[in-house]
RNA sequence: GGCCCCGUCAUCUAGCGGUUAGGAUAUCGCCCUUUCAAGGCGAGUACACGAGUUCGAUUCUCGUCGGGGUCACCA
């Protein structure tokens, strides 16, 4: 059975790149009746953040890409938290040590740092580990370890030849052995590094396809070497293009908004986020831009993945979100999703019919839900008269005064009000705009709003008349 | 800097030897219109460069250039 995984580390805010990876992994697994699993890679104890895991799981649920097996839902593949698997990692490291495919290195961090600096000063092009302890005899090594000298376990990478990685998207990628170094497998604190942990967990959990970001490509030969040393089955490697900042560098918190939670907060719908991520590097065969996870299940292929790293463009995400608001979601849906933002602004939403009318009128006018409270302000709060609106109001005050008695007695629907206003303008020899804009200003305090009909009906007769009177 | 990956409008992309190089976002213009949006229509903007291969290269090969990634006891 096909198994894919994402293996995020619980160090910070849930990252859009993680969701991006989840999308690839989940789509591919589910296309093949496989399982998509989530493993928390928490072996870096110094950067561990206890909140991070819960928030990550929440975000996966929110976007609708939950894992089939994870720390919360469980599954047959043992613990889904990496630190709970360290006994295995240590066992494998010991086996490699025993087999001679790995060795103890007693260098201290300070020593390594020192040597790195010297190498840098000498402008040496390669600054990996210098393999000082690679050829320590077994007796020496055992001795030093027995004496309590701290050590790490490093892989014994080949000194010559080459390692060829078959990548699904890029074909054969060749690395010369001379470019590889003896990476740390097990740290001095007894925890594994990513290299050992990820590969052994993938093996133990039955992961068949490693779908991960391109940044891992250059460490894949080491991963392949670990797998070979242990005699495991090699997974298929698929390195997907990296999401980029506008300056083309790897998407980062510093230069872009990478926080899934913040997109949620600003009122990006999860459907739009997933859709947008889906069009990063991938395109539908028929070119459509609006699609969901099910559509991906049907049409996704690696052949349609382009390799240039896509710039994460918040402008286009926002536009796409707008399309979801006005084309994909039902009005009821939009109302439900807008509600929290309006409540937060302190509006009284007890009149459901009014709320629905307001949202309906505003629908083509906002792209993210965070904009809705501001756009709806004059429906729920006293107007704030803007300067330009004030000027218009003064120009048209006479019209307003004349119109008031005509409006007071009538039923408050646009089909009865419209002929009154138009008739009045005609009789007064005024342009329609010269009448309409002052009304709009009186009603909203602005010169921009939904159509007059929608405005009048949503506001209701009483409020409208009051505001016009106030203006006169 | 070494190594690895990548290279079509500003951005996301279609294209898989012969196309007026298509679509989308953004920008601008027009239409609709009581305003602003939305919507419709339209405009400008791209095959990085140089050699090959070929009757013919955006498409295949190589080189150059450019961008990115990586070179931690982080993932």
In A50-155 the beta strands, taken as DSSP E runs, fall at: 102-105, 152-155
pLDDT in tens, A381-407: 999 999 999 999 999 999 999 999 999
Segment A446-467 shows an average pLDDT of: 97
Residues A123 and A135: beta-carbon distance below 8 Å = no
| pLDDT reading at A309 higher than 90 | yes
Tokens of A409: 């007695």
> Which CATH number describes the domain made up of A382-471?
1.10.10.350
Which nucleotide lies closest to A178 by the C1' atom and the CA atom? Answer: B3
Residue A451: the pLDDT is 97
Supply the pLDDT for residue A118: 84
pLDDT attached to residue A125? 65
The Cα A39–Cα A47 span in angstroms is: 17
Q: Do domains A86-240 and A382-471 have the same CATH topology?
A: no
Catalytic residue set of A: 253
Give, as ranges, the nucleotides of chain B with any atom within 7 Å of a protein CB. 1-8, 11-16, 22-26, 34-39, 67-75
Q: Which DSSP category does A106 fall into?
A: -
CA dist A458 and A356 (Å) reads: 9
Instruction: Report residue A327's pLDDT band, with 50, 70 and 90 as the boundaries.
Output: very high
- Per-residue model confidence (pLDDT) at position A122: 76
Determine the pLDDT at residue A347: 98
Whether the pLDDT of residue A141 is over 70: the answer is yes
Report the alpha-carbon angle A304-A307-A309, nearest 5. 125
What would the mean pLDDT of A52-68 be, rounded to a whole number?
97
CA A390/CA A446 separation, integer angstroms: 8
Residue A427, pLDDT above cutoff 80: yes
pLDDT at residue A186, rounded to an integer: 98
Output the six-digit token pair for A444. Answer: 């909203």
Q: What is the pLDDT of residues A197-234, one digit of tens each?
A: 999 999 999 999 999 999 999 999 999 999 999 999 99
pLDDT of residue A116: 86
Q: What is the CATH number of domain A86-240?
A: 3.40.50.620
Cβ(A101)–Cβ(A156) under 8 Å?
yes
A217: the nucleotide nearest its CA (via C1') is B4
- pLDDT given for residue A119 in this prediction: 81
Nearest to A48, CA basis, from A167, A191, A259, A157: A191
Q: Locate A396 and state its tokens.
A: 């048209």
Q: Which of residues 84-113 of A touch strand B (CB under 7 A)?
A: 107-109, 112
Task: Give the span between the Cα atoms of A250 and A380, in whole angstroms.
Answer: 44
Per-residue pLDDT, A124: 67
pLDDT at residue A315 is higher than 70: yes
* pLDDT(A123) > 80: no
Helices (H) then strands (E): counts for chain A:
20, 9
Taking all residues of chain A, what is their mean pLDDT, rounded to a whole number? 96
Strand B contact at CB of residue A34, distance < 7 A: no
Q: How confident is the model at residue A246 (pLDDT cuts 50, 70, 90)?
A: very high
Domain boundaries, chain A: 86-240, 382-471
| Rounded Cα gap, residues A341 and A434, in angstroms | 34
Residue A269: φ, ψ to 5°: -80, 145
CA neighbor of A224 nearest in space, from A195, A201, A197, A204: A195
With distances taken from each CA to the C1' atom of nucleotide B68, the closest residue turns out to be A249
DSSP category for residue A248: S
CA A100 remoteness from chain centre: 43
pLDDT score recorded for residue A88: 98
């Amino acid at each position: 059975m096909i198994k894919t995984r994402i293996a995020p580390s619980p160090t910070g805010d849930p990252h859009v790149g993680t969701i991006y990876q989840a999308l690839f992994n989940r789509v591919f697994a589910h296309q093949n009746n496989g399982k998509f699993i989530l493993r928390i890679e928490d072996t870096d104890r110094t950067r561990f953040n206890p909140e991070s895991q819960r928030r990550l799981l929440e975000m996966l649920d929110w976007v609708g890409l939950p894992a089939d097996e994870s720390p919360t839902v469980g599954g047959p593949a043992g613990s889904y938290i990496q630190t709970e698997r360290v006994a295995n990692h240590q066992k494998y490291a010991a086996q490699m040590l025993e087999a001679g495919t790995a060795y103890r290195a007693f260098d201290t961090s300070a020593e390594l740092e020192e040597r790195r600096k010297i190498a840098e000063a000498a402008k040496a092009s390669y600054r990996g580990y210098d393999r000082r302890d690679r050829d320590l005899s077994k007796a020496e090594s055992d001795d030093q370890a027995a004496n309590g000298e701290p050590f790490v376990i490093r892989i014994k990478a080949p000194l010559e030849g080459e390692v060829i990685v078959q990548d699904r998207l890029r074909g054969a990628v060749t690395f010369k052995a001379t470019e590889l170094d003896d990476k740390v497998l097990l740290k001095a604190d007894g925890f594994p590094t990513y290299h050992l942990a990820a590969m052994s967990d993938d093996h133990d959990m039955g992961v068949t396809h490693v779908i991960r970001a391109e940044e891992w490509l250059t460490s894949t030969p080491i991963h392949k070497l670990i797998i070979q040393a242990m005699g495991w089955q090699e997974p298929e490697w698929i390195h997907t293009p990296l999401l980029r900042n506008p300056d083309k560098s790897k998407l980062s918190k510093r230069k872009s908004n990478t926080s899934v939670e913040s997109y949620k907060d600003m009122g990006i719908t999860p459907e739009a986020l997933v859709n947008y991520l889906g069009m990063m590097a991938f395109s539908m065969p028929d070119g459509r831009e609006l699609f969901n996870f099910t559509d991906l299940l049907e049409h996704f292929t690696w052949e349609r993945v382009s390799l240039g790293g896509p710039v994460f463009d918040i402008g286009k995400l926002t536009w796409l979100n707008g399309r979801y608001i006005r084309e994909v979601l039902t009005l009821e849906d939009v109302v439900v999703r807008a509600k929290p933002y309006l409540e937060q602004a302190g509006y009284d939403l007890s009149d459901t019919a009014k709320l629905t009318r307001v949202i309906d009128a505003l629908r083509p006018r906002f792209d993210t839900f965070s904009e809705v409270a501001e756009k709806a302000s004059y429906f729920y709060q006293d107007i704030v008269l803007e300067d330009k609106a004030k000027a218009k109001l003064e120009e048209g005050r006479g019209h307003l005064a004349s119109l008031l008695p005509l409006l007071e007695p009538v039923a408050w629907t646009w089909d009865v009000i419209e002929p009154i206003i138009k008739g009045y303008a005609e009789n007064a020899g005024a342009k329609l705009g010269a009448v309409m804009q002052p009304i709009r200003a009186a009603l909203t305090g602005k010169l921009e709003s939904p159509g007059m009909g929608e405005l009048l009906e949503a506001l209701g007769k009483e409020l409208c008349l009051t505001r016009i009177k106030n203006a006169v």
